[in-house]
Amino acid sequence: MKMLFAFITCLAVCPALALSHASQPRTPSMEEIQEHLQAVVTFLARDIGQRSYRDLRELNRAAEYIEERFHAYGCTVLRQPVAFMGNTYYNISAEVKGTGTEDGILIVGAHYDTVAGTPGADDNASGVAGLLELARHTAAHPLKRTVRFVAFTLEEPPAFMTKHMGSYVYAKSIREEGVTVYGMISLEMLGYYCDRKECQYYPLSFFRWLYPAEGNFIAFVGNLSSASFTRKLKHTFRKASSLPVESLNSVSLVPAVDFSDHRSFWHFGFPAVMITDTAFFRNPHYHAPSDRPETLDYRRMAQLIAGLYTALGDL
């Protein structure tokens, strides 16, 4: 209880660096976004490399890097400890206060750990890169809603789908805190795209009749309770970006729909959606040593983040 109280009272807050909001937030430069995304992915996947639950030094180095980025944007940063198998891991979070009076905050999250044996460029340095870039622009140009940006630890096995996931610990803490959440967005593998026919696979065969054969789109995936939030996010994203987007709201019986941190928020009754390049249904480097920075499409990643930043401003 004392730890929870300390966590609640120390919530990270970014200062409002730009308080004038007579107009919509500006769309960031694509070139600038692409450069920043590539730099983050390269640092995490090449300079640090494998970041499994056994790699405490590498995980701490990644956590420190994320903290430094949040600080560079003018944010105060919070570390939330996560105990697992006799070690302490950390969620890293920051908050940008909204300028409006809308009820409910947005949470944007991405995990920074990997499985053993991979540098994790797409899974999930790409998600962390997107998280940091969204935080950078939101800190400089706050949106109507308050946004919390959280880098989660321990998404991968053996913590995966257990109460030891960093996202589970975080979601449980905000439920106990009584936070009203408008919606949560999990950034899970954002960087791999393929344009040839039949390069995109699906968890069920009949999905081929409903969705593209090419892996040139981004997917928004939620459960049935999150359908309204998913539709709203998809609608605002389509207005803001030309990057193709597909969506699915389904039960967890459909394979892989709950394979990331959004699952933890569903458990506590929060609407949550995963934004993903569909992982192993498209990317042949999934959980492999070949998941390296040079395999990613930073131009389309930049399209995604620019569109998502603008879309968040309309929620």
Give 235-262 pLDDT, tens digit per residue: 999 999 999 999 999 998 899 999 999 9
Has this prediction a pTM greater than 0.95?
Answer: no
For residues 46 and 120, give the distance between their C-alpha atoms in angstroms, rounded to a whole number: 9
Query: Strand 272-276 to strand 181-188: parallel, antiparallel, or no bridges (unpaired)?
Result: parallel
Q: Is the pLDDT of residue 276 over 80?
A: yes
List the chain domain ranges: 2-7+50-312
pLDDT of residue 166: 98
Tokens of 30: 């694509």
pLDDT of residue 279: 98
Architecture of domain 2-7+50-312: 3-Layer(aba) Sandwich (3.40)
Query: Strand 105-111 to strand 147-152: parallel, antiparallel, or no bridges (unpaired)?
Result: parallel
Residues forming a β-bridge with 184: 107, 272
Tokens of 92: 């890293």
pLDDT of residue 284: 98
The beta-strand segments (E) located in 52-202 are 78-84, 87-96, 105-111, 147-152, 181-188
Residues forming a β-bridge with 151: 92, 110
pLDDT of residue 4: 43
> Which is higher by pLDDT, 290 or 253?
290
Q: Is the pLDDT of residue 2 over 80?
A: no
Burial class (CB in 10 A: 0-12, 13-18, 19+), 97: middle
Mean pLDDT value across the chain: 92
